[in-house]
Structure 1
Amino acid sequence: MDARRTGTGAAPVPDGAGTARQDDSAATSPGERPPIPADPSGGVGRRCADHPDDQDCWAKHAHVAYVDQQLAGYTTDGYPVDIDLAAALLALDPTQRQAVLDRKKFGSATTRRAAESGITQFLDLGCGYPLPYRPRRRSRSRPSNIHETFEEVNGRTGARIVHVDSDPMVIAYARAVLDSWPHQVGCLQADISDIDLVLGSPAVTGNITADRPVAARLHAALEWIGDDESVAAVIDRLWQWLPSGSSLSLTHAITDHAPERTAALVQAYQTAGLPWYPRSLADLTGLTAGLPPGDAATDQQWAAGPVGEAARRTTSSVFATTAVKP
């Protein structure tokens, strides 16, 4: 999940890339997150993008990536400000937990479909916190990480995965656990609204080759960008960049399911300093009009019916669709 909206002005920390080694000792219990090193990224520390001069920012201000973990029920640890916001959101709309889990389940389904089609390169835009590497020991209590799903499908390692997020602590944490992942992994702290910067960064160009398909994902990332033109530009530019045979999966919070509850959630996020921009199905249909129809094969592993129909049902607060580039 992209942890901030556009316009933070934060300077990206250096790109990270490399081939990680396998280390079974890194495995933890389902949903458990190992302690984040005090300063795993050479100076990021506990500062965040919106409050770079405040070393105690993480104890004072809610952050989307932490709140997302709380909403999913993956962890009971964290800072009180994040725990309290997640609790308030669930009190306003108890279906938010299922919405987050549905989104993550959809992410696992799209990754599985991509791996089954032979794709070995993955670009996760607005990645949020990765869970510790568990070689072929998937827990049924949560959806899989990209690398786990890839291994389940192929019976081997070797994926190329690039994680992008605007939150420096998300990227610092991802880098801190890279040594336990036997895949070629890159990390980039960047605002995804500057999509050309992202696609041209060493983290992307050093790990992803332009002559092979890529599975790109924008899961719960665009709802933190308030400008529709910027959202459309990200989608269009990314689609243009993807090689033939690639896939693009997208999820987004919608307003149609429960407008009054959604308005209350928007206000709660706003009060916490996290402007959130769910959109209507009509708006999202327009923003994704340049993509081909959804991939029904992916949706068969997620919910009944073609993706295009499932994404537009008002029984869910999550818009989800996958497009495959000819």
Structure 2
Amino acid sequence: MSDHAPTGVDPYTPSAARLYDFYLGGKDNYAADRDAGTQLLQRIPELRSTAHANRYFLRRVVRHLATEAGVRQFLDIGSGLPTQDNVHQVAQRHNPGARVVYVDNDPIVLAHAHALLADDPSTTAVANADLRDPAGIIAHPESQRMIDFTQPVAVLMIAVLHFLTDDDAPNDVVAALREELCPGSYIAISHLENETSPERAAFMEQVYARSSATLQGRSHAEIHRLFTGLKLVEPGVVPISEWRRDPTEPYWPPEQAWGDGGLARVTSLPPTPIRG
């Protein structure tokens, strides 16, 4: 990508979305992103495999939701830059007519998403909204146009909650979204964990502090608690490469794919605290 940036896009500050694109081998990034990404990969080469493992986790989750769970509505929060096998493509491959709303607040992500989705506005939409404002996401005109919240919805928060610090109260964000969903809906989460290599995780946080979004890795127990009040789908909260592992896909062991992930169902029962 040329460093000539569209209006509203800062090419000189590394962007979390563009860094992720860089790890995946994409070209939608600027020199500042490549410099920061190269610095990170020199110290933490497994960031590339982590990014790829996370994409495969997302695909398996969406495939399960569209086939076994029969979900036809998806809200992808913090969707990032479009890449191969986006949510609407995976969902509609298995459940034609599935509706998807992509949510992000990064100007370049929004520009690319609008261009990608322009061909079919009847089943896909883009909402400019912030993860820290769950009510605003639900109330956004595109969410309201595309999704019937009286019917099951799958909310995807894939590799995004680690961009909320403890001050942003990620558990409260998940709980607020959960309260907006009818029974039979689902919430999927993947999150960077910081116990595999604490020193490298701390270095990653230092670099991201100079980017468009701070980053905070969390322990396995902290990630597990994000699912409080939800009924976990087997195998529960596990390393992203281990969740319903598909032998036809590439595999990276947990030490090469830092992240825990899970899928959980919204039930009509009172929320049960998750301890750990």
TM range (shorter): 0.7 to 0.9
Q: Structure 1 263/194 Cα, relative in aligned 2: closer, same or farther at 3 Å?
A: same
Report the counterpart of residue 44 of structure 2 in structure 1: 93
**Secondary structure of the residue that 1:249 maps to in structure 2?**
strand
Match of 1:145 among 86, 95, 109: 86
Query: What is the letter of the counterpart of residue 201 of structure 1?
Result: H
Check whether the contact 1:111–1:146 (CA below 8 A) recurs between aligned residues: yes
Hey, what does 1:42 align to over in structure 2? none
| Bigger relative CO (Cα 8 Å, ≥ 6 apart) | 1
CA distance in 2, matches of 1:153, 1:273: 35
Residue type of the partner of 1:47? G
Per-residue CA deviation, residues 129-179 of structure 1 (Å, 9 max, x unaligned), is 123xxxxxxxxxx5x21122123323x3x1211111121221122112222
Change (3 A) 1:77 1:216: closer
**In the alignment, which of 229, 232, 240 is matched to residue 179 of structure 2?**
240
The answer to whether 1:202 aligns with 2:137 is: no
> Contact 2:171–2:225 at 8 Å: present in 1 too?
no
Shift of residue 295 of structure 1? 3.3
Report how far residue 105 of structure 1 moved.
Answer: 0.7
Q: How many residues align?
A: 256
Q: For 1:29-66, what per-residue CA distance to the aligned partner results, in whole angstroms no more than 9, with x for missing partners?
A: xxxx9x9x98xxxxxx4314xxxxxxxx22x1111111
The answer on 1:283 being equivalent to 2:222 is: yes
Residue 72 of structure 2 is aligned with which of 120, 124, 141?
Answer: 120
Q: Which residue of 2 aligns with 1:11?
A: none
Which amino acid letter does the alignment assign opposite residue 286 of structure 1?
R
* Map of 1:322 onto structure 2: 263
Q: How far is 1:183 from its partner?
A: 4.9
Separation of aligned partners in 2, 1:221 and 1:298 = 16
**Correspondence for 1:64 among 4, 16, 21:** 16
Matches within 5 A, 1:22-37: none
What CA distance in whole angstroms lies between the structure 2 residues aligned with 1:203 and 1:259? 40
**1:153-302 paired onto structure 2 within 5 Å:** 153-154=94-95, 156=96, 158-181=97-120, 183-227=122-166, 230-272=169-211, 274-296=213-235
Contact map agreement 1:126 1:192 (CA 8 A) in 2:
yes
Residue 272 of structure 1 and its aligned partner are, at CA, apart by 4.0
Distance 1:71 1:222, change over 3 A: same
Instruction: Report if the CA contact (8 A) 2:103-2:129 is conserved.
Output: yes
TM-score (norm 1): 0.71
Asked if 1 retains the 8 angstrom alpha-carbon contact of 2:15 and 2:212, the reply is: no
Matches of 2:254 and 2:132 in 1, distance apart?
28
The 3-state SS of whatever aligns with 1:110 is helix
CA distance in 2, matches of 1:186, 1:319: 28
Out of 100, 106, 110, the residue aligned to residue 57 of structure 2 is 106
Superposition misfits of 4+ residues, deviation over 3 angstroms? 271-274, 294-299, 313-316
Identity of aligned residues (%): 27
CA distance in 1, matches of 2:92, 2:236: 20
1:182: how far off?
A: 6.8
Say if 2:17 and 2:81, in contact at 8 Å, map to a contact too: yes
SS of aligned partner of 1:180: coil
Q: How far apart are residue 280 of structure 1 and its match?
A: 1.3
CA 1:76 to 1:321, structure 2 compared with 1: closer, same or farther past 3 Å?
A: same
CA contact (8 A) 1:253 1:318 kept: yes
Q: Which amino acid aligns with 1:271?
A: R
- 2:250 aligns with none
Pair 150,285 (structure 1): closer, same or farther in 2 beyond 3 Å: closer
How far is the alpha carbon of 1:289 from its aligned partner? 2.7
TM-score, normalized by length of structure 2?
Answer: 0.83
Unmatched 5+ stretches in structure 2: 246-252, 268-276
